[in-house]
Amino acid sequence: MKTFDYRTATGLADGLEPGAVFLAGGTNLVDLMKLGVATPDVLVDVNRLPLGEVSDLPGGGVRVGAAVRNSDLAADRRIRTAYPMLSQALLSGASGQLRNMATTGGNLLQRTRCRYFMDATMPCNKHLPGSGCPARDGDHRNLAILGASQACVATHPSDMAVALAALGAVVRVEGPTGRREIPVTDLYRLPEDTPERDTVLEHGELITSVDLPALPVAARSTYRKARDRASYAFAVGSVAAALRVEGGLVTDVRLAFGAVAPKPWRALAAEEALRGQPASRESFLAAADVELRSATPLRDNAYKIDLIRNMTASVLEGLTP
């Protein structure tokens, strides 16, 4: 591991110097440092900043501090009652020990587990722009079918972020130029020609909290994850869904897919196709088809189209009264 300096943040302005990286739970960053993939000059520990509370927002909604641990957020009564898909997504990720350490902000910023990215000896456009993407012709079974590019087909690994995307959550950020509010779906960059940049954050910007809107439909929601083994595995596909049905028709719906794109994929086209339609398996499958029309699978991951299609229908059927 590369030698680095360590210091404790005393305010939001810390971490501005070149080569400095914020450290919270460290469940992803420390692994990447051990592998030689991440090589920061300075770690700025933000755990003593006052970012560890879950609080009610005026007029409804919930604010989640960036340092709230995943286990605590999943167990929070407000989250379990008003946003069950978020609690379920958190509990489906990693192990209990990791959830006790991992933070809300860190979970959002975790990096892909593409095997070529995780190996510092391999060419990878995320390591070294222009070095190539060996995953396109290599091991890509669990990589992207939506939103990828010639330069990168990696997927974003977070379960929590998929639920937050479906809920329309907003990320609050503070940095050298002040405060920003960014919809979680806009936090991430599609790879295009610059896959080395995962997010729109600038150096020195720190996630301080995530705001969940007051969203009545979210009380009837769920998160389903498909994976290669029963526990402690990243998704091969996932669906976060919320549904309201009145008189047999869909009056409101929220959908997001995970493990299919370089970002949590809000299925806006599918949502639009469903509103006003009968709450039936046929409608659910047709809406999924609308969203997946733009999928561009590689040699070994076309199975994800059928997987997400059928998971979407199954999840929505389960939410139908």
Query: What is the tens place of the pLDDT at every residue in 113-145?
Result: 999 999 999 999 999 999 999 999 999 999 999
The whole-number average pLDDT for the span 79-96 is 96
Instruction: Give the number of C-alpha atoms closer than 13 A to the C-alpha of residue 127, restricted to the C-beta side.
Output: 21
pLDDT of residue 232: 84
- Cβ–Cβ under 8 Å, residues 154 and 191: yes
Closest CA to 207 of 100, 72, 107: 107
Residue 92 predicted with pLDDT over 90: yes
Query: φ, ψ for residue 187 (rounded to 5)?
Result: -65, -30
- Helices 303-319 and 281-292, axial angle in degrees (round to 10): 140
Quickly state the pLDDT bin for 245 (edges 50, 70, 90): very high
**Helix residue ranges, H only, 95-177:** 96-101, 104-109, 160-167
Q: Supply φ then ψ for residue 7, to 5 degrees.
A: -150, 160
Q: Which long-range contacts (CB under 8 A, 24 or more apart) does 59-65 make?
A: 59/214, 60/213, 60/214, 61/211, 61/212, 61/213, 61/214, 61/215, 62/211, 62/212, 63/209, 63/210, 63/211, 63/212, 64/104, 64/209, 64/210, 64/211, 64/212, 65/104, 65/208, 65/209
Q: Characterize the bridge pairing of strands 170-175 and 178-183.
A: antiparallel
For residue 218, the model assigns a pLDDT of 98
Structural domains of the chain ordered from first start: 216-319 (3.30.390.50)
Q: 126: buried, middle or exposed (CB in 10 Å: 19+, 13-18, 0-12)?
A: buried
Does residue 285 surpass a pLDDT of 90? yes
**Pairwise CA distance, residues 139 & 159, whole Å:** 22
Contact predicate 92/159, CB 8 Å: yes
CB-based contacts of 246: which residues, under 8 Å, 6+ apart? Answer: none
Structure tokens at 298: 């590689």
What does the pLDDT average to over 56-63? 96
| pLDDT band, residue 165 (cuts 50/70/90) | very high
Residue 236 is encoded by which pair of tokens? Answer: 């091969």
Q: Which residue has the tokens 């700025």?
A: 44
Contact 182, 165 (CB under 8 A): no
64 burial (CB, 10 Å; 0-12 / 13-18 / 19+) is: buried
Q: d(Cα 188, Cα 264) in Å, to the nearest integer? A: 8
Token pair 């509103």 in the structure block, residue: 275
**Lowest-confidence range among 128-137, 184-193, 226-235?**
226-235
